[in-house]
Amino acid sequence: MREFTHMQAYTVKEASQNAARGGMVIAGGTDLLGTLKDEILPVYPSLIIDLKTIDGLDKIEEEGDSLLIGSMAKLADVAADDKVKKHCQALSEACNRVASPTIRNMATLGGNICQMHRCWYFRTPDDRFHCSRKGGSTCPAYMGDNRYHSIFGVQNGCIAASSHDTAPALIALGATIITSNREVLAEGFFAANGYRSCILEDGEIVTHVRVPKCKKSVFEKFALRRSIDFPIVNCAAALGSGGTIQVVMGGVFPAPLRLTAAEKAVEKGITEASAAKAGDDAMADASALSGNGYKIEIARAMVKRTLLRLEGQKA
Amino acid sequence: MGETSKWVLEGTNDDRQDFKVVGTWNHPGRQSWDMVSGAAKYPTDLYREGTLTAMALRCPYGHAKIKSLDISEAEKLPGVTLILTYEDEELASMPVNVPSYYELGRSPLLGDEAEFEGDECGAVVVAQSEEICRKALDLIKVTWEVLPFVLDCREAGKPGAPILRPEMNPDSNMTGNTFGAPIKWEIGNVEKGFKEADHIEVIEYGRPMWNQFRPMPPAYFSYWDNDPWGNPDGEKMCYVTNHAHFPANGPVISAFMGMGVHEDKVRALSPYMAARYCDFVEKRGALLAPVLSRRLGGVPVRCVSTRRQSFDANVPQSFFTVRIGFKNDGTLVAVQLKNVHQTGARGGYGDKTHGHLVLPANAQGFKSTSCPNIYSEMEYYVTNGACTTADPGKDTWEPVNLAFAKIADTLNMDISQVIMKNVKVTKPSLETCMETGKKAFKWEEKWHLPGKKKLADGRFHGIACRSCWSMTWGMISYNINLRMNTDGKIYMPYSEALIGTYWPDAVQLVIAEEMGMKPEDVIVYYAANYPNWQKGDAADRGATCTWAAKEAAIQLKKQILETGASLFGVTEDEVDLVDSMITLKSDPAKQMSLVGIGQLAVGYCGKPKVPFQNDVIRTMNVDFCEVAVDPETGLVEILDYCAAHDFGKLIRPSSGLGQLEMALTMASGRALREEIIWDKNTGVLLNGNMYDYKVPTSLDQPVIDTIPVETRCGGGAYGSTGVAHAHCDAGLVGLAVQNAIGKFIPMAPYTPDKILAALGRI
């Protein structure tokens, strides 16, 4: 790893100002440090701003009909928190499926939603692939090995698959991402955006996530390894007010996808048949690349299973 | 079929029954303590004041040659001590000799042509830190001529494929054997055999390039210094870390052969090594470190690589086409096997060309069956897919078990019956393993015809078993020196790097057992200055080196008893060693401590009296696997994994059974997830990290039952034999998947895409 200056920020404003000047923020560091070590980014930052020294960003609190979770709350803590388990079960389950126990003890909720994509072309060190996310003109995964990539096409020239486990849960639950500048619905927060996987601008820092309480919500993940892998496909479903059901899938597009066709299929209730139809309908517009047709089948099954599990969950 | 092992192994003490120490549990392991406590020092941990760091330029292309190289800016960078390029005469001429088992093959130590992406090529920088090395490497201006590359050995063999190593073979990519031609052999008359067959089937099977287990990226550390006793001629001694154990210390033997330095000027530094499983490959850093240190007057130099760069030596690709002929009763009568094998970017395992005749997955395994007609043809092709290492698995048995599964599938037979019908020598080892393993696994309750059982949750259920030999090495002499010190303890030095097979802990128990010592009074310790000879740190040599330890222990005990007898004033026959005390047999209460009676020492060099490995099938093992296959997602879950292994004699149970668990875990990773993946358009490695290269973590380890079998038929002490090599292949899981879904999948790993394709879902 190359040398950099490490500063401890004590306020969000201080962190934000320094980040705007080219510094990178570090939360748990489980993504950033590996990224720096492998020299994945086109420009190596000279300043790393530690957010762990900012008071209060790791709290998990009830706020009326919502939970307010600090971006620095560790994934293991979010997963184990009784309030989260009771009111936002999908988020608890998602946090509990991120990476490995040791990583969950370091990594934060804010870090997970801001982590960069795991596309192996993007992540190959030394700029071996100068892809569109790094200022290049092409996406090498199109013609290359795309077994883990998008099955719903391109976003901003990129076909990497979203790899956040918490994102589908947050979107399904109708969460709001609170940054140093604004509040954004989680559904609009994620996108292939330069090297970022979200719409954050330079100097903008996620401070909290507000998650509405929900009576029923579940999260499912499919990965090759049970222990540590990023998702091939993940899926969250939540029962909204008025009995509507939100279904969100990750790993199938550069951003998590709201599966409205699946939601429509279970409007009148979740049964074996409607859940299967939801899976089929959700995949109707999927389009496999050269090496990832199998993901459509997995995604189809995951939609069905997630909905059936939601139906079986106690309200 | 049904034959009994006929080997009579001299001197194994295979009828001894009165064990006090061997085979017992709860002995504190010196190695395991070192490893779990962090006390173990690996090459990456070593540092001396003034240590410099070295890093090599790495090629960004799948295959490329340097057209021009400008190091002038890099040399100006503060902190840079030395930059050597491919034009350096010493580097260009090395290795002077081509040591056996050395991955460089016929390539220079630092050349101008990179044979794969990430290959060390063109220049090496020595600087005050890794940071400065990286900056200097960035400042080197390189113009590359990008050359055609081939990643698949089958493609490399096709007419019209680019010739990758014309200096080795100008006509084709076939390399890695002395003759530059396919290797063919025949036993019996295969065509006649096929005419006698009731059924003829063809099976295709392939496996990708696999990485070895990589706990950490390798580093090589070396310095030259005065030695207080080892260099009376005034020449400095070369100290170098050790990343190999076979046939001696890889870097050490490479260093003295490459640099023209005699072996007695080289000392191995590290007792522990990581980032590898077995043998046959050593990396350039191993030789660069001592060369660079010597060039700088002996200053310590640490040659490092990143995690990704450590993926530059892998287990080769191999593809089989197996045509089998068999009778209605399942008897195999003809085998015709063609194996296309990858020799790696260097064109082979150094000059170990003849090794190909016995190691890769050709038809050798069928020689252990009763099949009278076998034809084998192998082709070896160089590719641009990294260097190759030996396969930890016993891949010669993979096609054998595949053939058995095909016979079982065709005839609706139980594969365990096909195994017992066709393996030549079944008594006592295979028969015992099969019986005990089937019982433990509940085979009779679980077995069914392929594709005929689903679990309550809708998943397909499948089981399979496969047999393999438990290797007992007879080709290497083991050199054991034992001494009793004035403190009354027994000391045994070793200098081989350890890869986690715990052989010193096993040897400690054998010495204690044979001499009548308490285990804690036998100290097996690492000694860098000890002559570098084989002790046996491989998955299966660990047991057979106990042979030499036993012989040495017998000799030292004799000396001690002679001394003790004279002190007691009796004859040797009247005393014994009991719990580290010289004891009068007629009155066991009369004992004499060994403390202070003097120093005694013996040396023994020898090997188990067994023929070469391929001809020995005294000890066998049978593995069993139960899987569930999700028909909607294609995910395979291993429900039960059971190994009935004939240890001959289980010397240190915690180590032996641990080896089994390790090997089966390795096999499960290879079967389900692991493969080296390159970008087909550029030849760039895509999954050179521990996320994308999916080794099992402890949370992914399947449930493993280890069933020790002890027939006392091995070639090591007390009839012991080797362990882990025999279980690391991926084929068994594939056979269980076949039993589950009713279809053979022709390529490992058995990932969801392949399963869903086999099920016709994509």
- What length is written for chain B? 762
- Chain A contact present for B141, CB below 8 A: no
Closest Cβ–Cβ partner in A37, A226, A294 for B752: A294
The letter for the amino acid at B454 is K
CA atoms within 13 A on the CB side of B290: 33
Q: Is the ipTM of this complex over 0.90?
A: yes
Nearest residue of chain B to residue A292 (CA atoms): B753
CATH of A60-114+160-312, one of 3.30.930.10, 3.30.465.10, 2.60.210.10, 3.40.50.300: 3.30.465.10
- Cβ-Cβ pairs closer than 8 A, A with B, add up to 102
User: According to the 3-state scheme, what is the secondary structure of B230-247?
Assistant: CCCCCCCEEEECCCCCCC
Assigned token pair, B167? 């200096």
Give the three-state DSSP class for A274: helix
Contacts of B24 (CB under 8 A, 6+ apart): B509, B653
Give the gap in angstroms from C-alpha A204 to the nearest C-alpha of chain B.
29
- Chain B contact present for A29, CB below 8 A: no
As beta bridge partners, residue B141 has: B70
Q: Is B692–A120 a contact, with Cβ atoms under 8 angstroms apart?
A: yes
- Chain B contact present for A128, CB below 8 A: yes
Tell me which residues of chain B, numbers 278 to 307, contact chain A at a CB-CB cutoff of 8 Å.
Answer: 306
Q: Is B633–A301 a contact, with Cβ atoms under 8 angstroms apart?
A: yes
Of the candidates B368, B717, B403, the one whose C-alpha atom is nearest the C-alpha of residue B541 is: B717
**What is residue B407's DSSP assignment?**
H
Assigned token pair, A38? 């492998």
Q: Using only the alpha carbons of chain B, give its radius of gyration.
A: 27
For the whole prediction, is pTM greater than 0.90?
Answer: yes
Q: CA A9, CA A54: separation in Å to the nearest integer?
A: 6
- Chain B contact present for A136, CB below 8 A: no
Residue B508, in any domain of the structure? yes
Residue B80, in any domain of the structure? no
A245-250/A233-239 β-pairing: antiparallel
Could you report how far apart the first and last alpha carbons of chain A are, in Å?
A: 49
Nearest residue of chain B to residue A121 (CA atoms): B686
B525 and B641 part of one domain: no
Contacts of A309 (CB under 8 A, 6+ apart): A218, A220, A237
Q: CA A5, CA A8: separation in Å to the nearest integer?
A: 10
The letter for the amino acid at B172 is S
Q: Is A297–B672 a contact, with Cβ atoms under 8 angstroms apart?
A: no
Note the pLDDT of residue B192: 97
Closest Cβ–Cβ partner in A129, A226, A298 for B633: A298
Assigned token pair, B126? 């020595």
Tell me which residues of chain B, numbers 189 to 248, contact chain A at a CB-CB cutoff of 8 Å.
Answer: none
Assigned token pair, A23? 């510094």
**Omega into B162 within 30° of 0, i.e. cis?**
no
The domain boundary residue, chosen from B606, B629, B646: B606
Q: CA B243, CA B260: separation in Å to the nearest integer?
A: 20
Note the pLDDT of residue B611: 62
CB contacts, 8 Å: B635 with chain A = 222, 224
B482 and B587 part of one domain: yes
Residue appearing with tokens 């997955």 = B361
Residue B452, domain CATH = 3.30.365.10
The domain boundary residue, chosen from B606, B630, B657: B606
Tell me which residues of chain B, numbers 556 to 585, contact chain A at a CB-CB cutoff of 8 Å.
Answer: none
B631 and B727 part of one domain: yes
The letter for the amino acid at B101 is Y
b/e burial code for range B460-475 (CB count within 10 A of at least 16 → b): bbbbbbbbbbbbbbbe
Note the pLDDT of residue B387: 76
Contacts of A243 (CB under 8 A, 6+ apart): none
CB contacts, 8 Å: B630 with chain A = 301
Other CB atoms within 10 Å distance of the CB of residue B297: 9
Q: Is B633–A293 a contact, with Cβ atoms under 8 angstroms apart?
A: no
Assigned token pair, A19? 């980040």
Give the gap in angstroms from C-alpha A72 to the nearest C-alpha of chain B.
24
Distances (CA, A) of B252 to B326, B372, B478, B534, B549: 50, 45, 18, 12, 24
Query: Would the CA dihedral through A136, A139, A144, A147 be positive or negative?
Result: positive
Could you report how far apart the first and last alpha carbons of chain B are, in Å?
A: 42
A5, A165, A232, A298, best to mutate vs chain B, most B CBs in 10 Å: A298
Residue appearing with tokens 């050593």 = B282
The domain boundary residue, chosen from B586, B606, B626: B606
Assigned token pair, B106? 């016929």
Q: CA B505, CA B651: separation in Å to the nearest integer?
A: 10
B456 and B511 part of one domain: no
Q: Enumerate helices (H) and strands (E) in chain A, giving the number of each.
A: 13, 14
Nearest residue of chain A to residue B681 (CA atoms): A144
B748 and B638 part of one domain: yes
Q: CA B723, CA B650: separation in Å to the nearest integer?
A: 10
Nearest residue of chain A to residue B758 (CA atoms): A294
B653 and B746 part of one domain: yes
Residue B534, in any domain of the structure? yes
Give the gap in angstroms from C-alpha B103 to the nearest C-alpha of chain A.
25
Long-range contacts of B293-296 (CB under 8 A, 24+ apart): B293/B222, B293/B223, B293/B224, B293/B238, B294/B224, B294/B238, B294/B259, B295/B82, B295/B84, B295/B90, B296/B52, B296/B81, B296/B82, B296/B126
- Chain A contact present for B41, CB below 8 A: no
Give the gap in angstroms from C-alpha B752 to the nearest C-alpha of chain A.
7
B652 and B583 part of one domain: no
Query: If 0-12 CB within 10 Å is exposed, 13-18 middle and 19+ buried, where does residue B143 land?
Result: exposed
Give me the residues of chain B with pLDDT under 50, please.
96-105, 178-179, 247-249, 349-358, 532
CB contacts, 8 Å: A292 with chain B = 753
What's the structural domain count of chain B? 2
Other CB atoms within 10 Å distance of the CB of residue B529: 15
Give me the residues of chain A with pLDDT under 50, please.
315
- Chain B contact present for A137, CB below 8 A: no
Q: Is B684–A293 a contact, with Cβ atoms under 8 angstroms apart?
A: no
Tell me which residues of chain B, numbers 101 to 140, contact chain A at a CB-CB cutoff of 8 Å.
Answer: 117, 131, 134-135
Closest Cβ–Cβ partner in B632, B686, B696 for A145: B686
Contacts of B84 (CB under 8 A, 6+ apart): B91, B110, B123, B124, B126, B292, B295
Q: Where are the domains of chain A?
A: 60-114+160-312
- Chain A contact present for B747, CB below 8 A: no
- In angstroms, how far is CA B233 from the centroid of its own chain? 38
Q: CA B56, CA A227: separation in Å to the nearest integer?
A: 35
Give the gap in angstroms from C-alpha B344 to the nearest C-alpha of chain A.
21
- Chain A contact present for B489, CB below 8 A: no
CB B408 within 8 A of CB B414: yes
B568 and B583 part of one domain: yes
B627 and B756 part of one domain: yes
- Chain A contact present for B100, CB below 8 A: no
- Chain A contact present for B68, CB below 8 A: no
B131, B676, B686, B751, best to mutate vs chain A, most A CBs in 10 Å: B686
b/e burial code for range B250-273 (CB count within 10 A of at least 16 → b): bbbbbbbbbbebebebbbbbbbbb
B630 and B667 part of one domain: yes
B507 and B521 part of one domain: yes
Q: CA B266, CA B257: separation in Å to the nearest integer?
A: 11
CB contacts, 8 Å: B134 with chain A = 2
B468 and B616 part of one domain: yes
Residue B153, in any domain of the structure? no
Q: CA B448, CA B302: separation in Å to the nearest integer?
A: 57
Q: What is the dihedral of CA B126, B130, B132, B133, to 10 degrees?
A: 50
**What's the domain range around B729?**
1-7+412-472+611-762
Of the candidates B275, B301, B279, the one whose C-alpha atom is nearest the C-alpha of residue B290 is: B301
CB contacts, 8 Å: B216 with chain A = none
